[in-house]
Amino acid sequence: MILIMGVAGAGKSYFINQLAGKQVVEEGTDLETCTQSCSLVPVDIGPSQILVVDVPDFDDTIRADSEILQEIARLLAAQYQLGVNLKGIIYIHRITDKRYSASALKNLEMVKKICGDAALKNVLLVTSRWAEIPEDVGLNHERELKENFWAYMIARGSNMCRFRSDRNSALSVVSQLLVKDTIVLGLQRQLVDQEKPLNETEAGSYLNDDLERLKMAYQLELASLDKKLEIFESDRAPTRQIQHDWHKEQDRLKQAQDQQQSLQRHVGSEVRGEIDSAKRRKSALGQALAFVPAAINMLGLFVGIPSIATDNL
Ligand SMILES: Nc1nc2c(ncn2[C@@H]2O[C@H](COP(=O)(O)OP(=O)(O)OP(=O)(O)O)[C@@H](O)[C@H]2O)c(=O)[nH]1
Ligand SMILES: [Mg+2]
């Protein structure tokens, strides 16, 4: 199994479609988030079959980061416990991007936290869209990535390579991971071996700290609105607007609290329980896809399998 990650519009789904040689996952636009949940795509590569996961990006406009991390954590906990081999992560970045956006930084940081330093040698940092930029400008961007944003990962064994937007290039990128030893990610060790709740894993605590900062900002804003309410006590028009803002801020605070709470789940043991009960039940999906190996079949319970993709099996 291989995970494909990167910022919204980086070209994760495009890469997977090129690799599969047909449209198996939906592509979006450069700006808006398209892939909303993890999809598991089985792809034939020569004599071997691999599972490619189209991973939704963090800092998404629709779903909370905590929700996305839970989904990734469930999939990775299931894959590890089912004994499906993981070869690594492909992180895609558009070489055309002039600046490394806050979103791209967050996605990169999450890749690092999910992997842990010891697994960074199984990360491929892939630049795409070379045809859309003069070669010398691309080379400058590439140097900046290598010396700056990606230096930490490269020092710990991550490799850089270029994706030339076609099937052959996608195959050559993926084959660089396939020759590597299989890997267990830091997140998997923390969730499954150490039985930590998600908020105590590196990736979860990173998001938890973010939420803590947001909560403090909302609380400060609420306190300032309380003061304004006292000042304008007898003046109805501004009071109404302040009350409206107060409720909006209160809602945001509640959402951040709910997200923090959702990160407290013991994903590793929850998934183990689900796998055990699915084994007992011999799930409906298992019967529908009886020709798919059992472990992959089970993994399908934790994510969506695009229907066209199963033609490949
Ligand atoms: N020509 C060309 N178009 C690309 C390439 N990569 C992505 N695109 C286009 O860029 C748009 C965004 O690509 P997607 O593959 O949907 O991006 P994504 O990373 O899956 O984005 P999300 O699912 O939103 O996170 C789509 O219209 C793709 O067809 C590429 O290498 N070459
Ligand atoms: Mg996508």
Residue 126, pLDDT above cutoff 80: yes
Q: Is 12 in the pocket of ligand 1 (CB under 6 A)?
A: yes
Whole-model pTM? Answer: 0.89
189 — pLDDT class (breaks 50, 70, 90): very high
pLDDT average, residue stretch 117-139: 97
Q: Are 169 and 163 in contact (CB under 8 A)?
A: yes
Q: Are 3 and 38 in contact (CB under 8 A)?
A: no
Q: Is 11 in the pocket of ligand 1 (CB under 6 A)?
A: yes
For the stretch 225-275, pLDDT in tens is 999 888 877 777 778 888 899 999 999 999 999 999 999 999 999 999 988
Strand duo 159-162 + 48-54: pairing: unpaired
Task: Determine the distance separating the centroid of ligand 1 and the alpha carbon of 57, expressed in angstroms.
Answer: 13
Task: Specify the pLDDT at position 313.
Answer: 37
Residue 167, pLDDT above cutoff 80: yes
Q: Is 10 in the pocket of ligand 1 (CB under 6 A)?
A: yes
Task: Specify the pLDDT at position 307.
Answer: 43
Task: Determine the distance separating the centroid of ligand 1 and the alpha carbon of 173, expressed in angstroms.
Answer: 17
Token representation of residue 253: 């605070």
Q: Which of 81-90, 128-137, 230-239, 285-294 has the lowest mean pLDDT?
A: 285-294
Task: Specify the pLDDT at position 304.
Answer: 60
Number of Cβ atoms within 10 Å of the Cβ of 29 = 9
Task: Determine the distance separating the centroid of ligand 1 and the alpha carbon of 294, expressed in angstroms.
Answer: 32
Q: Are 312 and 42 in contact (CB under 8 A)?
A: yes
Token representation of residue 43: 């792809």
Residue 290, pLDDT above cutoff 70: no
Please state the atom number of ligand 1 nearest to the C-alpha of residue 54.
20
Cβ-proximal residues to 255 (8 Å cutoff; 6+ apart), any chain: 64
